[in-house]
Amino acid sequence: MSSMSEISTGKVPKRTPLKSSIWKQSMHRLFKDKLAVTGLIVVIIMFIACFIGPIFSPYSANKIHMNIMNHPPNMRHWLGTDGLGRDVLTRVLQAGRISLTVGLASMILSVFIGTLLGAIAGYFRGIIDQIIMRAADLLLTIPSLPLLFIFGALLSEWKVPTDYRMYIVMVMLSLIGWPSLARMVRGQMLSLREREFMQAATVLGLSSRRKLFHHLLPNIVPLLIVIATLNIGGSILTESVLSFFGLGVMPPTATWGNMIDAANNMLDFQNRPWLWIPPGFSIFVTVIAINIFGDGLRDVLDPKKKR
Partner 1 sequence: MSIAEDLLEVNHLKKYFPIKSGLLNRTTGYVKAVDDISIQIRVGETFGLVGESGSGKSTVGRSIVRLIEKTEGEVKFKGINVYDLGPEELRKLRPQMQLIFQDPYSSLNPRVRVGDAIGEALLDHGLATRGEIRDHVEEVLRSCGLSSYHIDRFPHEFSGGQRQRIGIARALILNPDLIIADEPVSALDVSIQAQIINLFRNLQETRGLAYLFISHDLSVVEHLCNRIGVMYLGSMVETSSRDELFQNPLHPYTKALLSAVPIPIPKLKRERIVLKGDIPSPANPPLGCKFHTRCPFAIGRCKEEVPEFRDAGGNHFVACHLA
Partner 2 sequence: MKNLLEIEHLSTHFTTEEGTVRAVDNISLRIRSGETVCIVGESGCGKSITALSVMGLIEEPSGKVVEGSIHFGDKDLLKLGKNELRAIRGNEIAMIFQEPMSSLNPVITIGEQIIEPLMVHMNMGKREAQKQAIRLIEQVGISRAEQIARSYPHELSGGMLQRIMIAIAISCNPKLLIADEPTTALDVTIQAQILDMLRKFKQESGMSILLITHDLGVVAEMADYVIVMYSGKIVEEGEVVELFSNPKHPYTRGLLKSKPIINQRQDELYSIPGQVPNPLELESSCYFHDRCDNCMAICRTDEPALKEITIHQKVACWLYEEGALHVHS
Residues that bind partner 2 in the complex, under the rule CB under 8 A: 3, 6-7, 9-11, 13-15, 29
**CA quadruple 265, 266, 268, 272: dihedral, nearest 10:** 150
**Do 173 and 106 meet the contact criterion of CB atoms below 8 Å apart?**
yes
Partner interacting with residue 74 (select from partner 2, partner 1, none; CB below 5-8 Å by kind): none
Q: Choosing among partner 1, partner 2, none, which partner's interface includes residue 14 (Cβ < 5 to 8 Å by kind)? A: partner 2
User: Closest CB to partner 2 among 8 and 141?
Assistant: 8
| CA separation, residue 247 to residues 2, 94, 101 (Å) | 79, 19, 18
Q: Is 8 in the site for partner 1 (CB under 8 A)?
A: yes
Are 129 and 225 in contact by the 8 Å Cβ rule? The answer is: no
Q: Which is nearer to partner 1, 157 or 194 (CB)?
A: 194
Q: Which does 161 bind (CB under 5 to 8 A by kind): partner 1, partner 2, none?
A: none
d(CA 245, CA 38): 32
| Smallest separation (angstroms) from partner 2 to the CB of 28 | 9
CA nearest to 136, candidates 152, 153, 120: 120
User: CB 272: neighbour CB atoms within 10 A?
Assistant: 21
Residue 205, binding choice from partner 1, partner 2, none, Cβ under 5 to 8 Å by partner class: partner 1
Binding string, 279-298, against partner 1, x = CB under 8 A? --------------------
Q: Considering just the CA atoms, what is the radius of gyration of the chain in Å?
A: 25
Residue closer to partner 2 by CB (options 19, 215) is: 19
Q: Please state, in angstroms and rounded to a whole number, the distance separating the CA atoms of residues 194 and 123.
A: 11
Q: How many other CB atoms sit within 10 Å of the CB of residue 225?
A: 18
CB of 259 to partner 1, least distance (A): 44
Burial of 39 (0-12, 13-18, 19+ CB in 10 A): buried
Site string for partner 1, 210-249 (x = CB under 8 A): x---xx--xx------------------------------
CA torsion sign for 136, 141, 143, 146 is negative
- Interaction between residue 21 and partner 1 (CB under 8 A): yes
Residues contacting partner 1: total by CB under 8 A: 29
Interaction between residue 75 and partner 1 (CB under 8 A): no
Residues in contact with partner 1 by CB under 8 A are 1, 3-4, 7-8, 10, 12-13, 16, 20-22, 195-197, 199-207, 210, 214-215, 218-219
